Amino acid sequence: MPQETEEEGEPPTPKQEATGSAVDAFWQWREAESTRLFGPPAMRKRKNKRHTARLVARYSEPVIRGLLVALSRVDELICTQCLSEMDLAAAPLWEIIQPFELGGYTFRIESVQDTDYVVDIAAGSGTEGDGGRFLIARHGETFTVKEILGQVVY
């Protein structure tokens, strides 16, 4: 006798319901906390766009994307591993760099000397493994991480 699947109308188990409720509660809390800290969604979107536009005006979009691609190749940190799963070539930068979202990426270029950039990046809740400071070298149009300078916790 074949087992019924969830697609055929099997109700979720109590464990599935509890997990779903916990996930829903987390996302509701996260949205409420983001709104409390940074304003309503439309305001956060404007802030993220403005922040990214300032980065682009100062350093250029190809430089920022190149730095993000270089960071996405670092396996040591959670935030850089997550970058490797994003479409860094096509996604709007303000959807990648979101300092005004709880759990969003914070990205700063600390200094530039000749072809070397010192970059801070963090994501998530600012806990261990969520951020780092990197020395990134530019070679024409490509960038490579020369050194991990330390961990950054926001």
Q: Per residue in 51-104, pLDDT tens?
A: 999 999 999 999 999 999 999 998 877 777 888 888 899 999 999 999 888 888
- Give residue 4's pLDDT band: very low, low, confident or very high (50, 70, 90): very low
pTM: 0.77
| Distance from C-alpha of 33 to C-alpha of 1, rounded to nearest angstrom | 49
Q: Give the pLDDT score at 131.
A: 79
Quick one: average pLDDT of 16-42?
Answer: 81
3-class secondary structure, 59: helix
Q: Per residue in 127-139, pLDDT tens?
A: 555 778 899 999 9
| Distance from C-alpha of 101 to C-alpha of 47, rounded to nearest angstrom | 10
Instruction: Identify the residue whose tokens are 């490579």.
Output: 144
